[in-house]
């Protein structure tokens, strides 16, 4: 079979759907299925990922079209969809809701995010264009069946991959010297649902109570709706609090040397971020979301809610608990496992 893949985010965006497309293709190549892939890059953003980081072999067919997305859509009306650009495909797999236009081939989509209530109706209508959907947790599978009316046989649950930072670290995480004082880490841009300001207040309480620690916010400063920058500047933590924007290649060591990852998401369709940390033997404190409980189980600590005092207690307990790595976790949540399950589902879709 020949599988088309929306590969534009893989080369132009490091995290999120970019990582998903990049690691899925890489794992399929490693499993010996590179000749089945047809990668399409439709768009004009610059490539930010190095060729080495893509991990593609010479057998993979890759087509780059530096056209604006609107011209791609216009070309589809003339019969020039993704199939024509790729020389024909049996199925096209999307990683974005609005990806390259496809004329006739069956289309599948990976669903890892759910929109706000105001946008849900439009989101569900758009899903009707896809012949089958892929999800990474049972909770999202149930949502698609119940809210979108999808046939359960056309919603495929696959494991999420999370072993990329462990691979890129290139050594046993236990060989690294832990940060001193112990570092509490928050990954991602300062969005309200991640509760950066509350984490800062909780760490200030712990320091005032005699707890040795530091705090690192690792993410973009492009959006700061909570005025976090001023809170950081005024913090009683002083030089013990840092807000940085690490490069992709710096993230594995940053996470591996941290004492705790605090990841308080409002909603999520995958547990990839806390899994990335756990595979590096870094403890995690997360929201009790269904996707997190399903993947993390007893390996994680959970914060159900409350203000800074309750969060401070939860951080203290998670620091004291430490990491609980389990044998086999890296294999269970590997990109090879994801790619193998995805390919089996593609085969079943084409045989139906």
Contacts of residue 33, defined as CB under 8 A and 6 or more positions apart, other chains included, come to 339, 343
Q: What letter would DSSP give residue 94?
A: E
The confidence score (pLDDT) of residue 65 equals 87
Residue bearing the bigger pLDDT, 103 or 164: 164
Q: Where are the chain's structural domains?
A: 3-161+334-351, 164-332
Cα dihedral 304/161/92/345 (nearest 10): -90
Q: pLDDT at residue 223 above 90?
A: no
- Strands 260-263 and 284-286 come out as parallel
Residues in the chain: 352
Residue bearing the bigger pLDDT, 222 or 146: 146
pTM comes to 0.93
- Mean pLDDT across the stretch 150-176? 95
Q: In whole angstroms, how far apart are CA 45 and each of 21, 41, 66, 211? A: 16, 10, 8, 45
Range list of H helices, 31-68: 51-54
Q: What letter would DSSP give residue 161?
A: P
107: Cα separation from own chain's centroid: 22
Binned at pLDDT 50, 70 and 90, residue 326 comes out as low
Contacts of residue 164, defined as CB under 8 A and 6 or more positions apart, other chains included, come to 19, 23, 276, 335
Q: In whole angstroms, how far apart are CA 142 and each of 117, 286, 294? A: 17, 22, 13
Q: pLDDT at residue 270 above 90?
A: yes
Cβ 83 vs Cβ 101: under 8 Å: no
Instruction: Dump pLDDT digits (tens) for 101-142.
Output: 998 899 999 999 999 999 999 999 999 999 999 999 999 999
The superfamily (CATH) of domain 3-161+334-351 is Glycogen Phosphorylase B; (3.40.50.2000)
Gyration radius (Cα) of the chain, Å: 21
Instruction: Dump pLDDT digits (tens) for 275-318.
Output: 999 999 999 999 999 999 999 999 999 998 899 999 999 999 99
CA distance 264 to 275: 14
- Around Cβ 86, how many Cβ atoms within 10 Å? 22
Instruction: Dump pLDDT digits (tens) for 30-76.
Output: 999 999 999 999 988 999 999 999 999 888 999 998 877 666 666 65
Residue where the block lists tokens 């149930």 = 142
Cβ 46 vs Cβ 12: under 8 Å: yes
CA distance 317 to 315: 5
CA distance 101 to 290: 33
Q: pLDDT at residue 222 above 70?
A: no
Q: What percent of the chain has pLDDT over 70?
A: 94
Helix axes 335-351, 16-30, angle to 10 degrees: 80
Q: pLDDT at residue 90 above 90?
A: yes
Domain 164-332 has CATH 3.40.50.2000: yes
CA distance 308 to 254: 25
- Mean pLDDT across the stretch 76-98? 87
Cβ 208 vs Cβ 239: under 8 Å: no
* Same-fold call for 3-161+334-351 versus 164-332: yes
């Amino acid at each position: 079979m020949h599988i088309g893949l929306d590969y534009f985010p893989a080369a132009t965006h490091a995290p999120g759907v970019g990582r998903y497309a990049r690691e899925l293709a890489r794992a399929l190549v490693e499993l010996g299925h590179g000749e089945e892939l047809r990668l399409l890059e439709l768009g004009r953003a610059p490539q930010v990922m190095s060729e080495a980081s893509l991990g593609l072999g010479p057998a993979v067919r890759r087509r780059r079209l530096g056209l604006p997305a609107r011209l791609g859509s216009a070309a589809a009306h003339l019969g020039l969809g993704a199939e024509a650009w790729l020389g024909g495909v049996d199925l096209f797999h999307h990683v974005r809701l609005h990806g390259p236009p496809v004329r006739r081939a069956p289309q599948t989509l990976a669903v890892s995010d759910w929109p706000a209530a105001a946008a849900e109706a439009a989101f569900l209508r758009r899903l009707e264009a896809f012949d089958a959907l892929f999800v990474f947790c049972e909770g999202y599978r149930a949502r698609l069946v119940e809210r979108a009316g999808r046939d359960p046989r056309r919603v495929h649950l696959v494991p999420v991959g999370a072993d990329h930072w462990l691979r890129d670290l290139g050594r046993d995480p236990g060989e690294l010297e832990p940060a001193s004082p112990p570092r509490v880490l928050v990954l991602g841009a300062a969005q309200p649902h991640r509760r950066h300001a509350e984490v800062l207040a909780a760490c200030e309480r712990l320091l005032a109570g005699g707890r040795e620690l530091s705090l690192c916010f690792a993410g973009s400063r492009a959006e700061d709706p909570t005025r976090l920058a001023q809170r950081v500047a005024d913090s009683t933590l002083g030089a013990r609090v840092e807000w940085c924007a690490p490069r992709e290649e710096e993230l594995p060591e940053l996470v591996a040397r941290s004492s705790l990852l605090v990841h308080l998401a409002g909603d999520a369709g995958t547990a990839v971020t806390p899994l990335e940390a756990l595979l590096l033997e870094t403890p995690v404190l997360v929201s009790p979301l269904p996707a997190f409980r399903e993947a993390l189980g007893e390996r994680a600590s959970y914060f159900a809610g409350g203000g800074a005092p309750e969060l401070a207690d939860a951080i203290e307990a998670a620091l004291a608990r430490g990491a609980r790595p389990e044998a086999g976790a890296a294999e269970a949540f590997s990109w090879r496992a994801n790619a193998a399950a995805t390919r089996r589902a593609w085969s079943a879709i084409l045989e139906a």
